[in-house]
Structure 1
Amino acid sequence: MTSTSTHETRIEADPTLPTIRIVREFDAPQERVFRAWIEPQLVAQWLGPEDLDMKIDDWDGRTGGHYRYSMHRDGQEVAAFYGSFHEVRPATRLVQTFTFEGVPDGVSLDTAVFEAVGEGRTRVTVLSVVDSLAARDAILASGMEHGVVEGYRKLDALLAGASS
């Protein structure tokens, strides 16, 4: 495996809370990492597993905005997601809802915090809160770790390139 980063993706689930915490460092300044998280043409290049293509169906990346995107394999839609941007604080914080269309009652509230950690690096901590431990466990069992880890590897490559 060739990678532009050796940073570990930590996915943590407190056994007593319906939360998932994802922590990852990136070799780029906060502003570049945040842009890759909120600008649709950049998000489409990295979010999700390597074997799926993302199509942005709707994206209004501002406080009070919304989004919908779908994931495709061999030209066929395999999953779609939507939500609202509750707070977009440039380069520092993003709060949004996240819903898998296949489970419309399973809304999570996700808060991403972007923190400079020196030498041009950024730590992103995403805290997802769902309504039950069962919902949290279903998300963890869904294979989300695979998509998160591969997506972050794609984000490493995007941040290392000139396009971001």
Structure 2
Amino acid sequence: MCEIDLRPGGTWRYVVHEPGDGGGYDVAFHGEFREVRAPHLLVTTEVHEGMPPATALDTVQFDEDEHGVTTLTLDVLHEVPAHRDAQLATGMEGGMQVSMDRLEELVTRGAHRPDQPPPASPPA
């Protein structure tokens, strides 16, 4: 599930289903857009639901070089080091890497669902 109101002051929320024994479990996050400068910058708050209350500030920046290659930079700022450490202890780095790999695949192969085969090429 994903809800996005992409404007300064707008909110977002998404829920990721993690497979596992007994049907798996859901992990949810929500926040508020603080700054939106398309197509280069998003600044949002982020709350990992189910964790102790700790709001992080996320800055996502997209920079394109002279060859048309875009680099995505994501900075996550926690006010309290213990909140950062708790988030890292969840294994979120591995999950973020999976998400970044899927994004790279989407950008390089074209839009299709990662759980579905890519669309067939038209006949030559």
Q: Give the alignment's TM-score, normalised by structure 1.
A: 0.61
Query: Corresponding residue for 2:108?
Result: 160
| Match runs of 1:19-58 below 5 Å | 55-56=1-2, 58=3
Following superposition, the deviation at residue 135 of structure 1 comes to: 1.2
Q: Choose from 38, 43, 57 the match for 1:95.
A: 43
Q: Report what 2:9 is aligned to.
A: 64
The alpha-carbon distance between structure 1 residues 83 and 133, as it changes in their structure 2 partners (threshold 3 A), is same
Query: 1:151 corresponds to which letter in structure 2?
Result: S
Superposed CA deviations along residues 11-30 of structure 1, whole A, max 9, x for unmatched, are: xxxxxxxxxxxxxxxxxxxx
TM (normalized to structure 2)? 0.78
Q: Which runs of 5+ in 2 are unaligned?
A: 113-124
Contact 2:18/2:27 (<8 A) preserved: no
State the structure with more CA Rg. 2
Q: Secondary structure at the match of 1:64?
A: coil
Q: How many residues align?
A: 109
Quote how far apart the aligned CAs of 1:148 are.
Answer: 1.0
**Aligned-residue identity in percent:** 37
| Deviations 1:102-161 (CA, angstroms, capped at 9, x unpaired) | 125111011111111231111122111112111111122211110111111101110012
| C-alpha contact 1:70 1:77 (8 A) present in aligned 2 | no
Aligned to 2:28: 80
Q: Secondary structure at the match of 1:67?
A: strand
Q: Which contiguous aligned blocks of 4+ residues in structure 1 show a shift greater than 6 angstroms?
A: none
- Counterpart of 1:120 in structure 2 is 68
Query: 1:77 and 1:60 mapped to 2: Cα distance?
Result: 25
Of structures 1 and 2, the one scoring higher in RCO (CA 8 A, sep 6+) is: 1
Query: Which runs of 5 or more residues in structure 1 are unaligned?
Result: 1-54
Q: How big is the shift at 1:97? A: 0.5
